[in-house]
Amino acid sequence: MIDLAAFHRRLVLHGGKKPYERLFLFLLLPFSLLYGGIGWLRWLAYRTGLFSSFRAPVKVVSVGNLAVGGTGKTPLVDWLVKYLLSEGKRPAVVSRGYGGTFSGDVGVVCSGQGPQLSPAEAGDEPCLLARRNPTVPVVIARKRTLGVRAVIEKFAADIVILDDGFQHHAVQRDLDLVLVDGKFPLGNGMPLPVGVLREFPGALRRADLLLFTRVTEDAISPPVAKPSWKSRHQLAEYAIGLEGKRVSLADLKGKRLLAFAGIAAPENFFQGLEAAGLKAEKKLSFSDHQRYDKLTVSQIRSAAEQSEFLLTTEKDGIKLTPGMFSIPCYQVPMNIEVENEVDFKAEIFRRLWRN
């Protein structure tokens, strides 16, 4: 499955190089137009009142994107939570809980005392946010309206963050913050499956603020008629063992390591390690939201026979347990650095509380 996913990602980001690849994309075009058209009709139904939407009695911020996966929503939600806490607010996070097995209406991942549901139940991203912000309520709900009501009624939240909420129109928001990948802003400009977009590019007109992520010095941001900022994702200078021990990345240099990642763009993690001076002898890429079952763990163990330690992402690490491997396994946190952060914070504050 991961080979097919990698094949598709290469085609939609870099184009078909062989005749059969170009033919494959051409045959998918009708499905892409249908997918984008359904998304547009759905938005129109909410816009015209055909479908009803919920207006919360508190401020609501949506953090989302136009493309599928890999833009860094979780680090930004974490950044936003910490910013709101510093302003004396009582934020809460509402997520869909993608990849989790929880089937109820509302699942409380964190009530303000650390994670209560496992990653298998709630999904990896809500649990990661709960672990990073143990005093902040985090809930999962397929119907976000129920989740928003729950954090207001149960936890007295005065601002709600919708994680991955740009395409979720059932809840009205006061601020739509949309992330755009600085490396491949809109891919080839087409919705799935020919491209990587969830909607047609024109959907960006709904955004209030744009944040270009993973921006490099030579990156060229497309012109947009929206207030926009740039950011970079930066690996921490330390890694955390599965048992909680922290080690400096500098202390791991020069040792034999195997790196693995089950995220939307594993290559970004591997490149980050190389930039930090850590060269992995072996690399394993898994699908986004990978489940680390016995077969997957066995695969990692087999590949790491000659390695001294393992390195993975924090998103993957939250699904692992001490004792899974016979050699040390470390997770490396990922943070987001926003250019002109003071102005970015001021703009968020102005749009939420000064209008």
Residue 9's pLDDT is 79
79: in domain: yes
Tell me, yes or no, whether 199 and 316 share the same domain: no
pLDDT at position 2, please?
A: 47
Question: Kind of pairing, strands 246-248 and 238-241?
Answer: antiparallel
For position 200, what pLDDT does the model report? 96
Per the CB < 8 A criterion, the answer to whether 159 and 61 are in contact is yes
Q: Are 73 and 198 part of one and the same domain? A: yes
Residue 185 per-residue DSSP state: S
* 326 and 189, same domain (yes or no): no
Q: 220 and 278 share a domain? A: no
Task: Answer yes or no: is 301 within a domain.
Answer: yes
Angle at 131 between CA 320 and CA 315, to 5 degrees: 45
What does the alpha-carbon distance between residue 294 and residue 279 come to, in Å, rounded to a whole number? 27
Q: Per the domain annotation, does 134 fall within a domain?
A: no
pLDDT at 344 over 70: yes
Does the residue 50 lie in any domain? Answer: no
Containing 210, the helix (H) or strand (E) segment is strand 209-213
Give the number of other Cβ atoms within 10 Å of residue 200's Cβ.
20
User: Closest by alpha carbon to 76, among 141, 147, 129?
Assistant: 129
Identify whether residues 227 and 344 lie together within a single domain.
yes
> In the structure, what pLDDT confidence band is assigned to residue 301 with cuts at 50, 70 and 90?
very high
Q: pLDDT (tens digit, 9 = 90+) per residue, 173-228?
A: 999 999 999 888 888 999 999 999 999 999 999 999 999 998 876 655 556 678 99
Q: Which pLDDT score, from 0 to 100, does residue 83 have?
A: 97
Residue 223 located in a structural domain: yes
CATH of the domain at 346: 3.40.50
Q: Is residue 139 part of a domain?
A: no
Contacts of 174 (CB under 8 A, 6+ apart): 59, 60, 61, 351, 352
DSSP bridge partners of 278: none
Domain count, the chain: 2
Looking at the domain assignment, is residue 188 inside a domain? yes
Q: Inform me whether the pLDDT recorded for 5 exceeds 90.
A: no
Give the whole-number percent of the chain exceeding pLDDT 70. 97
Co-location of 71 and 188 in the same domain = yes
Average pLDDT of the segment spanning 313-336: 96
Would residue 112 count as lying in a domain?
A: no
Question: In this structure, are 262 and 276 located in the same domain?
Answer: yes
CB distance 75 to 335 below 8 Å: yes
Q: Two tokens at 60?
A: 């609501």
221 and 250 inside one domain = no
> What is the chain's mean pLDDT, rounded?
93
pLDDT band of residue 110 (cuts 50, 70, 90) is very high
User: For 261-286, what is each residue's pLDDT tens digit?
Assistant: 999 889 889 999 999 999 999 999 99
Angle between helices 73-86 and 124-132 in degrees, nearest 10: 30
Cβ–Cβ < 8 Å for 90, 159:
yes
Domain match, 166 and 63 both:
yes
Q: Are residues 81 and 229 in the same domain?
A: yes
Same-domain status, 281 and 184: no
Q: Please give the pLDDT value at position 218.
A: 60
Structure confidence by residue, pLDDT tens digits, 288-300: 899 999 999 999 9
Cα 311 to Cα 308: distance, rounded to the nearest angstrom = 10
From first CA to last CA, the distance across the chain in angstroms is 48
- Phi/psi at 278 (nearest 5 deg)? -110, 115
CB atoms within 10 A of CB 152: 18
173 plus 277 within the same structural domain? no
For residue 200, what are the domain limits? 59-89+158-233+337-353
The string of pLDDT tens digits covering residues 18-63 is: 999 999 999 999 999 999 999 999 999 999 999 999 999 999 999 9
